[in-house]
Structure 1
């Protein structure tokens, strides 16, 4: 999975800078290749396959002795573990609620770790994307949530999610930042110049 190039990252940073000149919000963007490596999921599926497949073949054919059955199970487990570690396959093995739960947890950790809850006007805003999970979330601090209900971001998140699914992550960021900026300029216009947090796109590879 290819994350945004340096040139594309600069486009995101420039979009953030434009919005922050016209609003009191402190906007940070985070792009994660994936929210988790899901090793436990790969091992779980490999273990189930190793238990079921050789045993099923043995029941049907009755040709495997105990030693050969054990060897077949270990071989199946090792091969399946390697196969299921491929990101394109791993993602499809994980139920959507689990993928979104892990991505949501990572988004909240990033909100805290990047200091979005410590801005002067409590106006931190995080636009978070986990590409493998096709997950987008917008998190805001109290200075913004007191003026804009969370429902205000829903349509923006849905549009961005659709773009991520189509592989249009850069355009998704730019459109999302512009749409958020329009709301912020109306409800949280700039009162003075500030730039407490970096404008760059944070990449979690």
Structure 2
């Protein structure tokens, strides 16, 4: 578990506290991984297995066509399994693809958690995908008209640094606090409401 129950409870309390200062509705979502990328690892395994016949030409062995085919299939299956090991897998998956999958999941989470249905369009999502070291803050229109996307970047960068160190709890706490300060300055509380759950959503 990336965050134990104690850390999750502390995060929920932090969100509740910050929401007393602003009309914004904060939601935190944590995904372990945005995609399994199986198709990428299988593609790499297939491409490398195609090299088996060429390699055999330079080896002092003689295989029948059937034996060579079996060897090729064995290499394909073996590499497909090997490439599922996380450190290896993420070296094979292009960074751009990782970013795209995580960004897509963030937008899906924004809709699934109902941030687009808040009164005044004041939903703010703090989305994290741990495996991709991806962090994004998505704000609905009611917030975006007061706080441009560029103002979230320093918070995102700080969170990513914590994420790479494996300190997800610290990253969430500091990001929620920084978001609260920013939102309180631009969208201060005019009423007490709590439209969306404050607990961490884990995908």
Same fold (TM over 0.5): yes
Pick which of 172-181 and 64-73 moved more.
64-73
Does 1:90 pair with 2:74? Answer: no
Alignment RMSD, CA only? 1.0
Q: Which secondary structure does the structure 2 equivalent of 1:189 belong to? A: coil
Unaligned runs of 5+ in 1: none
Deviations 1:69-124 (A, max 9, x none): 11111111111111112223212210100000000000000001111000001100
Q: CA–CA distance in 2 between the matches of 1:55 and 1:168?
A: 47
TM-score (norm 1): 0.95
Task: Give the corresponding residue for 1:22.
Answer: 21
Task: Give the corresponding residue for 2:100.
Answer: 101
1:55 positional shift:
2.0
1:65 positional shift:
2.8
TM-score (norm 2): 0.96
**Matches of residues 55-134 of structure 1 in structure 2 within 5 Å?**
55-61=53-59, 63=61, 64-134=63-133
Q: Which secondary structure does the structure 2 equivalent of 1:125 belong to? A: strand
1:31 positional shift:
0.4
Question: After TM superposition, which residue ranges in structure 1, 4 or more long, deviate above 6 angstroms?
Answer: none
1:57 positional shift:
2.1
1:4 positional shift:
1.1
1:62 positional shift:
5.5
Aligned length: 202
Q: CA–CA distance in 1 between the matches of 2:155 and 2:111?
A: 23
Task: Give the corresponding residue for 1:3.
Answer: 2
